Amino acid sequence: MNAFLKIAFSGILVLSALCGYTQEFETAIMENPVLNNAVRSQKATKARTVLNLPFFEDFTHTDYYPVADRWQDSMVYINNTMARKIISLGVATFDALNAKGLPYSPNNPFASVYADSLTSQFIDLSTHSPGDSIYLSFLFEGKGNGFTPQVADSLMLFFQRRSGSWVKVWEQKGAAMETFATAMVPVTDTSLFHEDFRFRFVNKATFNVGNSHWHVDYIKMAAGRNYQDSINNDLAFSTWGTDNFNRSLLNEYTSMPYNHFNANRNVHYSGLLGVMMRNSWLTTKEASLIMQLNNSQTGANLQTTPEQVFVQYNDEQGHTIPIPANASVLNANTDEAFSINTKAYWAQPISGDFSRENDTITYQQVFSNYFSYDDGSAEGAYYMSSYQGVPSYVAQEYALDVRDTIRGVQIYFPRQVPDAGNKMFYLQIYRKIDAVDGQNEMVYEQTDLYPEYESRVNGFVTYRFSNPPVLDAGAFYVALMFPAGGFSDSLYIGLDKNKRGANFRYFKVATQWESSMIEGALMIRPLVGKAIPLSVTDLGANTMSLEVFPNPAGQYLGIRSREANVNLKYSIVDMLGKELKAGNVTGEQIDLGALADGVYLIRFRDAKGRLSQKKIIKH
């Protein structure tokens, strides 16, 4: 496979060599599909929950939402992908999306809103006084892998008084931060020392300007502290891999079919499992590291011999352990999907370590019927903008290790404002593109496709190929083509910003493919092998073949279909998506006489629910 030099841009216009015909963009996502599909992990608690000091939370073992034992609301997103240079596994991310992963202000795209909050359970401070030197400390970061909070945005901390009112005790204005910073907030006001004390984080966000990402971790509240007491004496796991972009047993992919892996194991298998660790002690810490692997299909297990690691103070350090390529835990039946479940942990507890919850980290390597570079999480969205009359293309490179059938493609399309359901695209499969091979060879094309938002599974929607191509081993490219006209571009595709170097993405306008200039992996997954089960929504076949003529049209637009009695309904919209005319197709033409001269989209739907969309010009 061929990799081109990638240069990271964040929301910056990137011009092609063709004098600005096309542009690549990165933007914030307008939803969180993980939360949209997740089952709320918080337990329903009717009884009053009262805690005592010390209070500590580092969000290590939570499932998307804060745990109810410590928190009263569920508006923040608990994750391990949105922040950079994290201290331990898991952070709480504040943005402009609600607990269901949807916008707080969907109809006002530039509204400034008080968005997420994180409210503690009651903490009994009635037996304490200002002389106990109580401090609340936490780590915070702006932007991370997300988008920079704007100048008008902020992250705030409130304390609750005895009267029930809230007082703001700390605030950070919007800014991009390279690392986490520490905040130390004293509890000194006598009105705060009561049995119903709570604290609350709140972010103010400007929606549609970047979703204003803040990340909070290591929240600690205790007595007997001072302003310089910011050391947590903790040796913690932070991420899998030896850096933030290597989290797989595989060299390039995050997932792939096992028969392809097995046919070329020496190329695909990394041979190592690695973890990142962070030492918050003032001294170098020594620990004994063990890894366990389990094959979900065969039940085979592997446990590594304990290895001593030494992590210096305030240092993020990686450590890898070799796993033999012929280990039985890596062998399986190639006809079934399975996973290798891995756990890393300390052989013995570390004496005096502040938190034991972050002393274990888990990871799942999936082998299934698709190739992927992404880890299933989108930290941003990729889109292209092209001039009217010029089609634009984006492609991602993959490689078959054995002859196989390309059955379809899975794509994650993030929601957009305004809705992008009318943005048509084509799916294409290439064996060669000129940026790599000096020539182009397209072997398959499926036209008149549309993004889907209601039939997604974990954010992805499946497009089944009607006549799937069979390809020999070697490189191939999955491309999306946005037809000429300027109204099918700007279609958002999920962008995994945690992946670097293995995305192999290219784009084209008019004549020649070029290497992409925006870092990350597009969330596009080609499906291979056996036929896709019929239970999977077949959006690729959810279209029909129609012709409209003449185009440009005068008063009447003719309709020609290969099928008889299709019972067509139509809707004509302008380029802003406003419906101007709708009805049933009677006969073989539609009267356009009342429409002003201009460019429109006409959408057709038949009795089977199949779709077709065409650009028309009225003159």
What is d(CA 516, CA 555) in angstroms, rounded to the nearest whole number? Answer: 44
Put simply, whether the predicted model's pTM sits higher than 0.85 gets the answer no
- Give the DSSP H or E segment for 526: strand 524-528
Judge whether residue 371 has pLDDT over 90: yes
Query: What is the longest distance spanned by two Cα atoms in the chain?
Result: 87
CA distance 72 to 241: 34
For the ranges 42-46, 454-458, 587-591, the lowest mean pLDDT is seen at 42-46
Backbone angles phi, psi at 366, to 5 degrees: -100, 135
Give the other-Cβ count within 10 Å of 589's Cβ. Answer: 15
- Supply the pLDDT for residue 539: 52
Tell me the sheet residues that pair with 199.
159
Q: Per-residue pLDDT for 12 more than 60?
A: no
Positive or negative torsion for Cα 165, 166, 169, 173: negative
Answer whether 80's CB lies under 8 Å from 90's CB: yes
Give the dihedral of Cα atoms 202, 208, 210, 211; nearest 10 deg.
30
Give me the count of residues in the chain: 619
Instruction: Read off the DSSP letter of residue 250.
Output: B
Residue bearing the bigger pLDDT, 404 or 252: 404
Return the pLDDT at 416. Answer: 79
- For the record, the structure tokens of 374 come out as 């992404």
**How many helices (H) and strands (E) would you count in the chain?**
4, 42
Which secondary structure element, helix H or strand E, spans residue 37, and what is its range? helix 33-37
Q: Output the pLDDT for position 576.
A: 59
Distance in angstroms (rounded) separating the CA atoms of residues 448 and 548: 14
Ordered by where they begin, the domains of the chain are 14-29+378-528 (2.60.120), 33-230 (2.60.120.260), 251-367 (2.60.40.1710), 546-618 (2.60.40.10)
**Strands 122-123 and 50-51, sheet pairing:** parallel
CA distance 168 to 158: 4
Contacts of 464 by beta carbon, 8 Å cutoff, 6+ apart = 407, 408, 532, 536, 538, 539, 540, 541
> What is the average pLDDT value for the chain, to the nearest integer?
84
**Residue (of 51, 56, 76, 53) closest to 66 by Cα position:** 76
The secondary structure of 388-450 as a DSSP string is TT--EEEEEEEEESS-EEEEEEEEE----SS--TT--EEEEEEEE-HHHHSS-EEEEEEEEE-
pLDDT digits (tens, 9 = 90+) for 476-532: 999 999 886 556 678 999 999 877 654 689 998 867 899 998 888 999 999 999 987
* DSSP state, residue 143: B
| 340 in Cβ contact with 293 (< 8 Å) | yes
**Residue 283 phi/psi, 5° resolution?**
-130, 160
Q: What is the pLDDT of residue 243?
A: 63
Give pLDDT, residue 543.
Answer: 59
How large is the average pLDDT for residues 270-295?
91
pLDDT value of position 454: 62
Mean pLDDT along residues 441-469: 85
Reported confidence tier of residue 32, pLDDT bands at 50, 70, 90 = confident
Distance in angstroms (rounded) separating the CA atoms of residues 10 and 13: 9
Residues 110-121 have pLDDT tens digits of 566 788 999 999
Q: Is the pLDDT of residue 20 over 50?
A: no
Residue 191, Cβ neighbours under 10 Å: how many?
13
Distance of CA 14 to the CA centre of its chain: 22
Whether 507 and 513 have beta carbons less than 8 Å apart is answered as: yes
Rounded to an integer, what distance in angstroms lies between the CA atom of residue 86 and that of residue 493? 26
How far is C-alpha 545 from the chain's CA centre?
34
2 pLDDT higher than 90: no
Summarised one tens digit per residue, pLDDT across range 391-444 is 889 999 999 999 999 999 999 998 876 677 778 899 999 999 999 999 999 999
**Cα 479 → chain centroid:** 20
CA atoms within 13 A on the CB side of 256: 25
Mean pLDDT, residues 187-192:
98
